[in-house]
Amino acid sequence: MALDQITILGAGGMGTAMAVLLDRSGHRVRLWARRPEFVEQLARAGQNERYLPGIPLPGTIRFTSDLEEALQGSHLVIASVPSAFLRQTLKLASAVLPPGLPVVSVIKGIEQRSFARPSQIILEELGERPVSILSGPSHAEEIARGLPTSVVVAGTDGPLNRLVRDTFNTDRFRVYSNPDAIGVELGGALKNVIGVAAGICDGLGFGDNAKAGLLTRGLAEMTRFGSAMGARPATFLGLAGVGDLITTCYSPFGRNRAFGERVGRGETLAEIQASSPKVAEGVPTCLGVSELARERSVDMPITTALRQILFEGKSPGEAVSDLMDREPKDEWP
């Protein structure tokens, strides 16, 4: 079923990939970006040279920096801006976004100061309305190229979840359902933290043994934290948990893994952020999650070590030594 109009807020890699995917399925798509000059560049180049180079953008996608134009007549909104800028974007959109218009979040992060998940921010800024989360192992580059991808939709609104499945499902993009919105959303955020740590392993030249151990124990941290926040542990064994974790930690497209690799090779947080426009969501998420874990007494040694590396000046080598030298314990408490 083709929707008359879908609006995507955010023209980064994932927002652009969503536009290509939905346009390919016959939906009418408007892609909004905040800066008019960036919108002009998209239209002129016929591709997103900044965030998704080499992927042709169909001429049927409409680009705009005008929120009122972007949302006019829309039947579905997809939120695809970095979590740090989501609240600001929604404050602007709230004046022109119709009441009750459903929103789907494809954002994988949490707000640093409030620790709010994207779906919570959407409801806070836009009021009560149907909200779903679409997450899983889904690099934008592969979605846009039409490579097979499987994801999961979660949320408390059953009709919207079914609409998302009907809207997004293709022979190359498969959508499963999961009622655990908290777990699906946290899985998408927490895997970025472990992704940065995995990149540090790569940058330090560690082998497969170290990386496999990191992913396994990282998944244990994700599950502990998610359970403390009300998520179902089984969710972290699914697409939004271990599935997304594997992709993030091994793919050459993974910006969090690539960010961590540069840290492992000796670059500082400030140096990397100054040299790249791409946002590594795992960096602010690490800070927020480690604070919340400390408040909730959740044991997260990998996340804590990463915070010490990124924000407290600890060397990656010293952090690894401290992790390996911890007191022996049972694998399962």
Active-site positions?
A: 191
316-324 vs 301-311: helix crossing angle, rounded to 10: 160
Straight-line distance from the first to the last Cα atom of the chain, in angstroms, rounded to the nearest whole number: 48
* Alpha-carbon gap, residue 227 to 68, rounded angstroms: 40
Q: Which helix (H) or strand (E) holds 79?
A: strand 76-79
**Nearest alpha-carbon partner for 201 in 243, 275, 254, 279:** 254
Non-local (6+) Cβ contacts of 301 within 8 A are 221, 323, 326
Place of tokens 């140096």: 271
Give the Cα-Cα-Cα angle 76, 150, 19 (nearest 5 degrees).
35
CA distance 306 to 283: 9
Beta bridge partners of 76: 6
Contact 285, 189 (CB under 8 A): yes
